[in-house]
Every structure is written in C-alpha cells, then in structure tokens.
Amino acid sequence: MHPNHQQGSSAVPDVLAPGLRVVFCGINPGFVSAAAGAHFANPRNDFWRLLHDAGFTPWVLAPEEQFEVVRFGIGLTNAAARTTRGSGDLRRRDFLGSAERLAALAEELRPRWLAFVGKEAYRGTFGERPDLGEQARQLGVTRLFVLPSTSPANAAVSYAERLRWFRGLRESIG
C-alpha cells in the first residue's frame, strides 16, 4: 500500500487494501513488534487469538502471517509510528497528523469500519475519551469502533470481556 499512509517511519508496515471490511488500528509498535516487523507480535498480546475466536479469521494467524489478513477483509495500522516500551511512553506529538492520516486512509480505501484496539489509540488520535463500542464520529463512510486493548498491560480486562467486544464488532460488520 502507499507508504505515505504511515506518518514518519514505522518499524511495522501498514497492511492495507481498498474496500476492506475493517481496519484495526493499534496504538503504536512495542519493542517485540518492532523487532519482528509485525503487528501485535508480543506472544502475550491476545489480538490474533481474539481475531480468530471472534470469527474474523479461520485460524489463529501468527504475527508473521499478518499480510494474510487482507484475504479476510481485514487491514492493520497504528495511530502512532514511534516504537516504545509501553504506550504510556507516548507523547501528544507522537499522534500529530494521525487523525488526518486516518481520514485520508478512510477516504482513499473506504473500509467499512476502523476499529481502534484500545481507548488510548482513539484518544491519542482524536483528543477525546471514548467509551467502548461504536462511536458517533465517522470518517466519511467509515464507521468507528473502540475495542479494549489486547496488550498484556491491560490484564485487568478479562479475555472473555475482550472477546465479547470483538464479537460485537464482528456482528456489527455482518
């Protein structure tokens, strides 16, 4: 996909194509993902298992299979490009231009949904605190959804609760 979609340079490539059902937007690459050059590569991150258990993919993809998601109508991007140990190390400037970049992505590629993996990814992008679930804001025809973070740092939210939100998104997409 167009390299200009990712602001700055990121250790993890965007996985995008026109007309996807949903683009998942993480907050930023952690050290494990940056080293692997793959989204959600920390083995303790539940993203890939949740994607499968919610019915988005027919098997649990490994992070190195990330480009396979397009076959299932799924894309991957991040709100911020800078690699950090944890999302708490991000600064407001790390999100500069992310709302505009995601709006341009939505206009050009027209995914049906953009799903933020974690409230902080949404808050960093738009500067407002969201509730989980569908948002009132849209980017053109693209509807927005906020999921609980799948990071091991978000252990306070159970796997069952995370799965409930991922299933809710899949049901909304149809």
Q: pTM (2 decimals)?
A: 0.91
| 141 alpha-carbon distance from chain centroid | 18
If you average pLDDT over each of 52-56, 81-85, 152-156, which comes out highest? 52-56
Element (H, E) at 114: strand 113-117
* Total structural domains within the chain: 1
The region that residue 118 occupies, defined by phi over 0 for left and psi between -120 and 50 for alpha, beta otherwise, is left
- CATH classification at residue 99: 3.40.470.10
Is the pLDDT reported for residue 4 higher than 50?
no
Structure confidence at residue 171 as a pLDDT band (50, 70, 90): very high
Instruction: Look up the domain containing 131 and give its range.
Output: 3-173
The pLDDT value given to residue 65: 96
pLDDT in tens, 7-46: 446 788 999 999 999 999 998 887 889 888 999 999 999 9
pLDDT in tens, 111-158: 999 999 999 999 999 999 999 999 999 999 999 999 999 988 888 899
The pLDDT value given to residue 155: 83
Weakest-pLDDT range from 1-5, 101-105, 125-129: 1-5
Please indicate whether residue 110 or residue 83 has the higher confidence score (pLDDT): 110
Contact, 139 vs 102, CB < 8 A?
Answer: yes
Distance CA 39, CA 32 (A): 9
